[in-house]
Amino acid sequence: MSKPNPGRTTAIVAYITIVGCLIAITMNMEPKNAFARFHIRQAFGIHLLFHALAIVLTFMGVVYFALPLYLFYLVLWGYGFIQALNEKTQPLPVLGPYFQKWFTFIS
């Protein structure tokens, strides 16, 4: 049996709402863990994208996009969460590499 990754808990916490992501950022300050940092960036991107799209769609008055938005969010969130549980660092489809590049301030 392999030794569990020390950043696994931090990575999992990052996917529990945007507040959990902010908590995970502080948890990863000392000692820094590359696995946790990867998942914090992925989770931060998922949460930020969801909230930004929700705000834009609300102001546009486009109610019928609410269900597809939630489904899109849940699929991305589930994919990332399962990757964290399985201790893998595979980026999200399409958006994952951008999240790693855009959120380099999360270290």
Alpha carbon separation from 106 to 35, 40, 41, 68, 98 (Å, rounded): 12, 8, 7, 29, 14
Angle at 106 between CA 36 and CA 38, to 5 degrees: 30
Instruction: Encode the chain (107 residues) as per-residue pLDDT tens digits.
Output: 567 788 999 999 999 999 999 999 999 998 899 999 999 999 999 999 999 998 998 888 887 888 898 999 999 999 999 999 999 999 998 899 999 999 999 87
pTM, two decimals, is 0.89
- Distance, in Å, from the CA atom of 100 to the CA atom of 33, rounded to the nearest integer, reads 15
